[in-house]
């Protein structure tokens, strides 16, 4: 209602302004561009009932010409004017939250790995405190191998193996945090 002139009577109001319509159209076009960037699996999770819109989104993925792609995105925006975009936006936000959660979990594992390596052999207790099922001998071996690699200036293969092992523990026994 911000686009309504307060001096006009309700029967004189002719609808949203041209600028408001253009902002809405551009927002729908940006939403369409986001949809074009999704993989087929991700697109399947988005509630789009309009088959024509799905077809146009898939066509836009294959376009390499900038002008043709731009026109196709405008077509997607035009088709989206006729549907309710709220469920689509909600599904995209859910995907973003899930992606962010996965990235946060990844960073927490990296941080744990760094703490374990910094603590040395005592770092096995950091992991065993979170996952009692962890193989302490394997953890000690990886930590000692990392220390030997660091002393030689070799590639951090033990560090990568430790990260994979921590990720495996997290996948198998959950995130205790």
pLDDT tens by residue, the chain, 177 residues: 455 556 656 666 677 788 888 888 888 888 888 888 888 898 888 898 888 988 989 988 888 888 988 898 889 888 888 888 889 889 999 999 999 999 999 999 999 999 999 998 888 888 888 889 889 999 999 999 999 988 888 888 999 999 999 999 988 887 755
Please state, in angstroms and rounded to a whole number, the distance separating the CA atoms of residues 119 and 167. Answer: 19
Q: In CATH, which superfamily holds the domain spanning 18-90?
A: PSPTO4464-like domains (1.10.60.30)
Tell me 11's DSSP state. T
CATH class for domain 100-173? Answer: mainly alpha
Full-model pTM? 0.65
Pair 17, 3: CB distance under 8 Å: yes
List the structure tokens of 69.
Answer: 């792609």
Pair 103, 69: CB distance under 8 Å: no
Q: Within the chain, which residue ranges are assigned CATH 1.10.60.30?
A: 18-90, 100-173
Give Cβ neighbours of residue 44 (< 8 Å, ≥ 6 apart). Answer: none
Query: Three-state DSSP class for 125?
Result: helix
Please state, in angstroms and rounded to a whole number, the distance separating the CA atoms of residues 119 and 174. Answer: 23
């Amino acid at each position: 209602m911000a686009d309504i002139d307060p001096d006009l009577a309700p029967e004189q109001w002719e609808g949203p302004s041209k600028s408001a319509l253009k902002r809405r159209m551009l927002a729908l076009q940006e939403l369409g561009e986001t949809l074009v960037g999704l993989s087929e699996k991700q697109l399947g999770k988005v509630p789009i009932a309009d088959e024509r819109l799905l077809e146009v989104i898939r066509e836009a993925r294959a376009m390499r010409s900038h002008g043709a792609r731009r026109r196709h995105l405008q077509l997607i925006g035009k088709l989206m004017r006729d549907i309710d975009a709220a469920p689509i936006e909600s599904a995209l936000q859910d995907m973003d939250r899930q992606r962010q959660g996965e990235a946060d979990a990844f960073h927490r594992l990296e941080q744990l790995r760094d703490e374990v390596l910094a603590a040395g052999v005592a770092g096995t207790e950091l992991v065993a405190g979170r996952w009692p099922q962890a193989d302490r001998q394997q953890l000690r071996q990886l930590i000692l191998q990392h220390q030997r690699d660091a002393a030689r200036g070799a590639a951090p293969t033990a560090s990568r193996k430790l990260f994979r092992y921590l990720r495996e523990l997290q996948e198998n026994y959950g995130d205790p945090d």
